């Protein structure tokens, strides 16, 4: 028992010395091992689920206006990393590690329970961001209603064609202009 403990302690000290002398490569171009990626994914999924499953999804989620507002936000703030139908990978998106998921290439979710689960998880991530990835916490600058709108749009965008996307953004912008007079100083 004693030898095992001393062996472990020596191993930990050696690992710390190696890390302190720069042995670990932090480069984004140096991918994790497959098993490390699996572990990170498992920790991330569990963390998001634990923190989002009590959230109450607002009834207005399918509201046309909420979706349009989400679309406008998405187009302005998310496409540089997450892309959009008809948009080629950007210089920024190509360099990310972990890569940002491309939502419009995901399978649409039809099951209502799964849809709500995804909406909650998306809301939580958009609001709080994700550590050690490039995903920012938009909750520092946006209220919950706007964030639900973005979560709803992320669900909506799967398998959208470039034409449908352009139409959506077009009408979102028209709506945005209508809002300007009544919506005091709200940007995006």
Of the candidate residues 52, 104, 120, 122, the single one contacting ligand HEC (CB under 6 A): 122
Residue 71: name the closest of 80, 84, 86, 58 by CA: 84
> Per-residue contact track with ligand HEC, 7 to 46, x per CB under 6 A?
-------------------------------------x--
Q: In angstroms, what is the minimal distance from the CB of 155 to ligand HEC?
A: 9
How far apart are the two ends of the chain, measured CA to CA in Å? 62
Q: In angstroms, what is the minimal distance from the CB of 129 to ligand HEC?
A: 8
Give the CA count within 13 Å in the CB-facing half-sphere of 45.
8
| CB-based contacts of 107, cutoff 8 Å, min separation 6 | 158, 159
Which tokens belong to 137?
């916490």
Find the part of the chain contacting ligand HEC (CB under 6 A) among 4-12, 14-22, 134-142, 167-175. 134-142
**Inter-CA distances, 77 with 8, 31, 51, 188, Å:** 47, 27, 24, 9
Find the part of the chain contacting ligand HEC (CB under 6 A) among 24-32, 50-58, 69-77, 167-175. 69-77
| CB-based contacts of 99, cutoff 8 Å, min separation 6 | 93
Of the candidate residues 78, 84, 119, 169, the single one contacting ligand HEC (CB under 6 A): 78
Of the candidate residues 69, 75, 120, 138, the single one contacting ligand HEC (CB under 6 A): 138
| CB-based contacts of 10, cutoff 8 Å, min separation 6 | none
Q: Which is nearer to ligand HEC, 61 or 135 (CB)?
A: 135
87 binds ligand HEC (CB under 6 A): no
| CB-based contacts of 150, cutoff 8 Å, min separation 6 | 70, 73, 74, 78, 122, 126, 138, 142
Q: In angstroms, what is the minimal distance from the CB of 161 to ligand HEC?
A: 20
**Look-up: residue for tokens 């028992």?**
1
Of the candidate residues 55, 57, 77, 116, the single one contacting ligand HEC (CB under 6 A): 77
Q: Which residues bind ligand HEC (CB under 6 A)?
A: 44, 73-74, 77-78, 80-82, 96, 98, 100-101, 121-122, 125-126, 130, 133-136, 138, 150, 154
């Amino acid at each position: 028992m004693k030898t095992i403990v001393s062996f472990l302690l020596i191993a930990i000290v050696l690992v710390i010395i190696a890390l302190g002398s720069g042995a670990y490569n932090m480069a984004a171009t140096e991918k994790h091992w497959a098993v490390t990626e699996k572990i990170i994914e498992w920790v991330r999924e569990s963390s998001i689920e634990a923190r989002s499953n009590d959230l109450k999804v607002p009834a207005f989620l399918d509201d046309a206006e909420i979706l349009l507002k989400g679309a406008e936000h998405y187009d302005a703030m998310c496409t540089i990393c997450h892309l959009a139908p008809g948009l080629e990978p950007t210089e920024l998106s190509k360099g990310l590690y972990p890569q940002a998921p491309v939502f419009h290439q995901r399978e649409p979710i039809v099951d209502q329970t799964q849809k709500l689960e995804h909406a909650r998880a998306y809301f939580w991530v958009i609001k709080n961001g994700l550590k050690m990835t490039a995903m920012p916490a938009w909750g520092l600058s946006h209220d919950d209603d706007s964030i639900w709108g973005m979560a709803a749009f992320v669900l909506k965008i799967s398998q959208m064609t470039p034409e449908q996307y352009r139409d959506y953004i077009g009408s979102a912008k028209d709506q945005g202009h209508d809002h300007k007079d009544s919506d005091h100083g709200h940007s995006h």
